[in-house]
Amino acid sequence: MIHLDRFCRNLRAVRERIGPDRRICVPVKADAYGHGAVRIAQAALGAGASHLAAATVSEGAELRAAGIGAPILLLSQALPEEAPEIVRHGLTPLVSDRGYIEALAAAALAAGARCPVHLKIDTGMGRLGCSPDEAPGLAAHIAAQSSLVYAGTATHPAASDSALPDERALPGEQLGRFREAVDAIRAAGLDPGIVHAANSGGLLLHPGSWLDMVRPGILLYGYNLSGTDFPAEPVMELVTRITLVKKVKRGESLSYGRTWVSGRDTCIATLPVGYGDGLPRLLSGNWQVLIRGRPYPLAGRICMDQCMADLGPETEIPRWEEVTIFGGPAPSAAELAARLGTIPYEITCNINKRVPRVYMPEI
Ligand SMILES: *Cc1c(COP(=O)(O)O)cnc(C)c1O
């Protein structure tokens, strides 16, 4: 279940925090962190976002095919042969080298179009982006192409999500390098366009990184950073229904490897969710599901398509009853992630396409 009302409230809370004048870009990469890119994009634009961000050309094309006309940043580096498609879909790639700039300029020229681009500067993430020293030269190269529009300048923080005081210094240092590079672009007589840097961590912890536009992802999907007071509400809730309830005698085992052996006569519910749906197999025997407001432990190994929960010796819970795996009234994907030593991004992204996304209304 995808609670669009919660998503919109999270977005409005971001708006309140950053004030009326800055823009909001909503990352909808990886199918909006598993929430469904088109529906999230529509909700985001309806609630006041101006930009969207995708990772791949196909993700951008999916949004265009759904009739979405807002600017779509292309965060990852595309292949040179994808340039014509980027132009055709009117996407806004982040560029950081001459080869890519020229490939896009040529594709736009051939199509008789103008392609907007943002210059990406690496200030410490070490992933994509030009060095701050190269930035003014590349900015001038973009501005010199008649088929390109120099529409923005960006960087990405490497440690903004860390609440550790000694690691907080880095975003400040990154921001300093970024501001210097942007100043140098301006000093060269060029307009850097929309200047942006902040992801969720930057938004929460470093107001100096808000600049012209923020790009919060995980916060809008409802996961706060530890130690911050933002009222984020988790948007994803994984719900299923019991497909079978059966009695199991003391000493009987369940599931592959027979690792779980019942210490008592009990009732077992079978649930049609497994690691093939994105429920991590490492949660076997290490998670409780919620039924009628009460927690019940998973029993035995999680299978590809199913898992089992122990309802106890006496149970009123019938077959077909609703079960919450995470989110909603149950612990969230963030708590589940913490159990496994990972992050909520990975949990929600991995909920497989075969799990139907049911959208609760926007308000
Ligand atoms: C994914 C991404 C974001 C959003 O990050 P969150 O941690 O989810 O807020 C922002 N900017 C870029 C470039 C990204 O790749």
- 221 found inside a domain: no
CA 274 to chain centre: 22
Q: How far is the CA of 27 from the centre of ligand 1 (A)?
A: 6
Q: Are residues 104 and 248 in the same domain?
A: no
Is there a domain that residue 233 lies in? no
Residue 248 is assigned to a structural domain of this protein = yes
> Of all atoms in ligand 1, which is nearest to the CA of residue 199?
9
- Alpha carbon distance 98, 210 (integer Å): 28
Q: Are residues 178 and 297 in the same domain?
A: no
Cβ–ligand 1 contact at 156 (below 6 Å) = yes
Among residues 214, 246, 269, the one where a domain terminates is 214
Best of 160, 199, 226 for a ligand 1 pocket test (most atoms within 8 Å of beta carbon): 199
Residue with tokens 């990184």: 209
Q: Is the CB of 199 inside a 6 Å radius of any atom of ligand 1?
A: yes
CATH of the domain at 106: 3.20.20.10
Same domain, 250 and 200: no
Closest CA to 103 of 85, 90, 124: 85
Tell me how far the alpha carbon of residue 312 lies from the centroid of ligand 1, in angstroms.
43
Q: Check whether residue 174 and residue 302 sit in a common domain.
A: no
Instruction: Tell which one of 18, 215, 230 to mutate to probe ligand 1, the residue whose CB is within 8 A of the most ligand atoms.
Output: 215
CB 92 within 8 A of CB 116: yes
CATH number of the domain bearing residue 337: 2.40.37.10
Residue at a domain's end among 198, 214, 230: 214
Asked if 148 and 288 sit in the same domain, the reply is: no
Residues 276 and 200 in one domain: no
Same-domain check for residues 202 and 276:
no
Note the pLDDT tens digit of each residue in 110-162: 999 999 999 999 998 889 999 999 999 999 999 999 999 999 999 998 776 55
Which one-letter amino acid corresponds to residue 157?
Answer: P
Asked if 201 and 276 sit in the same domain, the reply is: no
Residue at 222 is within a domain: no
In a domain, 264, yes or no: yes
Pocket perturbation via mutation, ligand 1, pick of 18, 29, 75 by most ligand atoms within 8 A of CB: 75
Statement to judge: residues 258 and 332 lie in one domain? yes
Listed in order, strand segments (DSSP E) in 252-319 are 253-254, 260-261, 266-271, 288-291, 294-297, 307-312
Per-block mean pLDDT, blocks of 10 residues, the chain (363 long): 98 97 98 98 98 98 98 97 98 98 98 98 92 97 98 87 51 88 98 97 92 97 88 97 98 94 97 98 97 98 98 97 97 97 97 96 70
Is the beta carbon of 179 within 6 A of some atom in ligand 1?
Answer: no
Cβ 27 under 6 angstroms from ligand 1: yes
User: Based on the domain organization, do 353 and 279 belong to the same domain?
Assistant: yes
279 lines ligand 1 (CB under 6 A): no
Is residue 290 assigned to a domain?
yes
Q: What is the pTM of this model?
A: 0.95
Could you tell me the residue range of the domain that residue 35 belongs to? 2-214
Residue 7 falls inside a structural domain: yes
Long-range contacts of 77-80 (CB under 8 A, 24+ apart): 77/128
Same domain for 192 and 279? no
Domains in the chain, number? 2
Residue 261 shares a structural domain with residue 146: no
Alpha helices for the chain (secondary structure H): 4-18, 29-33, 37-46, 57-65, 83-88, 98-111, 135-143, 165-187, 200-205, 333-340, 344-349
